[in-house]
A and B are shown apart, each in its own frame.
Chain A
Amino acid sequence: MRGFLIAFLICLTGTVHASDDEAYLAQLFKSARDQRLSEQPAWRLLLHFHHDLLGRYRSEIDDPRYFLSPRGRRDPSAELDATLRAFFEVPSISTDVQHPQCRYPARYAWLKEQLQFDSRMKERPCPRFAAWRDQMDAESLTLIFASYYLNNPASMYGHTFFRLNSKRHGDHERLLDYAVNFSAYPDSDNPVLYVLEGLSGGYPGRFSTLPYYMKVQEYNNLESRDLWEYALTLEPGAMDRLVRHLWEMGQASMAYYFLNKNCSYQLLPVLEVAQPSLRLVHSFWFKAIPADTLRSVIHQPGILAGVRLRPSHVSKMLSARAQLSREDVRSAERLAKQADDAAVGRLDSLAKDRQAKILDSAYDLFRYRVGFSRNQSKDIQEQERKLLMARHRLGFNESKESSVSERPASPDQGHPTGRAGISFGASKRSHFEELSLRAALHDQEDDPVGYVRGSQLEMLHLRVRHDNDRRATYVQELTLIDILSLSSWDRWTRKPSWKVRTGLSAAGDVKQDPEDSLMYGLQVGPGISLRTHVLRGEHWYALAEADTQFGGVFENNFRAGAGTESGVIVEAAPGWHVHFKAAYFRYPWGNEGEAVRLRLIQACPLGKSMQFRVTLERQNRYKEMLFSLLRYF
């Protein structure tokens, strides 16, 4: 009987507690409704609510595990109620399962402040969140841009991520800070699947935090890319909100869309949670190019505290080489190629600091050639050891490392990524107007400031013409992708140049009206190029290309062949470029024939965001002249 009474009393206490909670919860619901909390921007931002491309208002997070309410993805009010209720949950016995207060520390902090939680809301300890937050120790934020890398389609546009600067680390210890990165988790190595899934949201994307030194090894060394560090100043309280929200985001996966919901885009909603006065996300709909997201952040008034360059291995290597005499450069090359005792012995007669410079450059070159992978042959490992031991024997050298001599323009200074144009042209038989629109990014005549010199990357470039004499409107060009990577030949880096171009265009060299000569073509080929400085800078190139074209304009509906293309791009004055190119192609298959193509383009800037061009073109017997006004946006 007594046992029964005790049990009864315990149950009663339990139910009293439960009904206490229910009562408080009801009160909180009412408060939340009175204050219209679920309509507040801060709550919407925490849930990543936006209008999608179809105009639907819902959360960008498609992972159902992120929401406490089954309607959470579409209904901020339901999610808020479910969140409040979840905060009262009894903690799970398993240490692997976090309490909702700990899974959602940003939501908890905000609701606590808005609703003034009192002791009736039992505040649960969050050891995992606390431990991670303590490791991050985030005092300030830096936005980092990894420069363009044309050899990997996912990296052609660059990449952005955050670094959380810790109070515990001095300015020279930034390697120990944590980086915050959003990336896709592809489950396939197959390059075709990778491209298709990446474009269509087939891969989930998630946030991770990892030591900055890992990113520096990956970008500066493995990929030889520069890292631009943009230090940001945020409002008080922003870093705390950021860190709380990042923890929430850890469990949320979001479909990764290479074109718009990509690595650089996803940093923006998180930044808006940290500082709601920032309006960043609204400018990015169809495309989110890292340089654009970078600019949208750093152009916010008062946010940019400074820019620092962390140069790539290649940049440092070439900079150090520039300080060596010709003879010493040759010595370094010999050592990098074959580091034997004889080669090292030849340095003995030189002054110690000269020896040191030669050995350092030899190591730089050696490292660049063999790569930064851990899988090196025994022979390579031995060679490396010879170089390092020779350098070691010189003794302790206190002189400061020389930094990169000429800092290139930072990527945020590049022209905007979209471009529209209006042109007037004439050929022997007609006059025409042309409208053009290019989604991305940069061609050989656009101002190269902030871009990789000699690189051209165009995606979705449409040109439509209206012929006044024949009264015909037609597509002159719809290029899907056009890459021309011209790397100036250097004895040390030895990078080849190459070209890939595919899309629709009017075959200009055949004897048909352009509106009847639309074809789909693919041109691919390797080449070499060289930069000289006879005047202000000239870039010479030569390519060998295979060319395949399909279209009704051709006999047998196709033609295939090969040819060469060479040219020179001259910078006649700042921003004013002259590009001359000549090509000869022979098509032995399909519609047999040959084509001689010449083109001369002159481009000069008009203010900060416009350019004027005159283009003279000749293809076999066809000649045209075009005057264009281009606008970057």
Chain B
Amino acid sequence: MRKLVALSLVAVMAPSLALARGNHPMAGCGLGYLLLSNKDNGKVTQVLGATTNGTFGTQTFGISSGTSGCTEDGAVKVARAAEVYADVNFDSLRREMAVGRGEFVETFASLLGATEANRQALLALFQSEYAELFPSASTTTSDFLSVLGAKISQHPELLG
């Protein structure tokens, strides 16, 4: 997956985000919604669960299966990489950004284009702006990404 330069991130996301405001569940690609509920932690009721090992997302990502939404032949479209990552890992990001530390948020910083030198500063920014990035309990990925894009454009020195 390519690292992105922040400005292109903001530029690319702006139009789709304008359309996808608010709590629309299929905002963006909807790949985060593949994480739907029929897997429980340790509940016996799932004994005959109708889920096959690893079908989570596998049809969308079939190799050479063509283009659809945010995927292309089994890869996430480069321009949508940050959006898909944020959507799929949203809960992990929401947790780790509160603290400014953790594998998911650090990887996200890399994906956005932070170098070794300014990663810590970017993580600190995530933490200090947390309340604005996640203004409510029901903040969606697209809301988060548009605020993030705005914050980053105010601090271009943090990337690349």
Q: Which residues of A contact B157 (CB under 8 A)?
A: none
CB distance from B67 to the nearest CB of A (A): 9
- Extra contacts, 6 of them, besides A169-B110, A186-B50 (Cβ < 8 A), are A176-B111, A185-B59, A186-B55, A250-B74, A392-B127, A398-B101
Q: Which DSSP category, helix, strand, loop or mixed, fits chain B's interface? A: loop
Q: In chain A, what residue has the closest Cβ to B32? A: A374
A82 CB–B CB distance under 8 Å: no
A152 CB–B CB distance under 8 Å: yes
A83 CB–B CB distance under 8 Å: no
Once the chains bind, are A493 and B50 in contact (CB under 8 Å)? no
Once the chains bind, are B75 and A178 in contact (CB under 8 Å)? yes
CB distance from A144 to the nearest CB of B (A): 11
Q: Which residues of B contact A191 (CB under 8 A)?
A: 48-50
What is the CA–CA distance of A397 and B123 in the complex, to the nearest angstrom? 11
A218 CB–B CB distance under 8 Å: yes
Task: Determine, out of A205-213, A272-280, A426-434, A502-510, the stretch whose residues face the partner at the interface.
Answer: A205-213
A172 CB–B CB distance under 8 Å: yes
Instruction: Give 30 A-B contacts (CB < 8 Å), ordered by A residue.
Output: A128-B73, A129-B64, A131-B73, A132-B73, A135-B2, A135-B78, A152-B49, A152-B51, A161-B54, A168-B1, A176-B1, A176-B111, A181-B54, A194-B48, A194-B50, A208-B63, A215-B54, A217-B89, A217-B92, A223-B41, A247-B63, A250-B63, A250-B64, A251-B64, A314-B41, A372-B35, A373-B39, A375-B36, A375-B37, A382-B137
CB distance from B91 to the nearest CB of A (A): 7
Pick from A190, A247, A398: contact of B64, CB below 8 A: A247
Q: In chain B, what residue has the closest Cβ to A158? A: B53
Per-position contact with A for B35-78: 1 when CB-CB < 8 Å, else 0? 11101111110111111111111111111111000001111101
Per-position contact with B for A468-508: 1 when CB-CB < 8 Å, else 0? 00000000000000000001000001011010100000000
CB distance from B103 to the nearest CB of A (A): 7
Q: Taking each of A152, A191, A195, which has the highest tally of chain B beta carbons within 10 Å of its own beta carbon?
A: A152
CB distance from A37 to the nearest CB of B (A): 25
What is the CA–CA distance of A190 and B49 in the complex, to the nearest angstrom? 9
What is the CA–CA distance of A1 and B29 in the complex, to the nearest angstrom? 60
What is the CA–CA distance of A221 and B32 in the complex, to the nearest angstrom? 14
Q: Which residues of B contact A73 (CB under 8 A)?
A: none
Q: Which residues of A contact B107 (CB under 8 A)?
A: 172-173, 175-176, 213
B143 CB–A CB distance under 8 Å: no
B156 CB–A CB distance under 8 Å: no
Q: How many A residues have CB within 8 A of the partner chain?
A: 93
Pick from B73, B75, B137: contact of A384, CB below 8 A: B137
Q: In chain A, what residue has the closest Cβ to B98? A: A392
Pick from A135, A203, A249, A250: contact of B1, CB below 8 A: A135
A183 CB–B CB distance under 8 Å: yes
B7 CB–A CB distance under 8 Å: no
Q: Which residues of A contact B1 (CB under 8 A)?
A: 135, 166, 168-169, 176-178, 211
B151 CB–A CB distance under 8 Å: no
B88 CB–A CB distance under 8 Å: yes
What is the CA–CA distance of A331 and B70 in the complex, to the nearest angstrom? 43
B155 CB–A CB distance under 8 Å: no
Interface residues of A in 185-237 (CB under 8 A from B): 185-186, 188-192, 194-195, 198, 203, 206-211, 213-215, 217-218, 221-224
What is the CA–CA distance of A233 and B4 in the complex, to the nearest angstrom? 30
B138 CB–A CB distance under 8 Å: yes
CB distance from A590 to the nearest CB of B (A): 26
B21 CB–A CB distance under 8 Å: no
Q: Which residues of A contact B103 (CB under 8 A)?
A: 172, 175
What is the CA–CA distance of A50 and B116 in the complex, to the nearest angstrom? 49
What is the CA–CA distance of A443 and B139 in the complex, to the nearest angstrom? 48
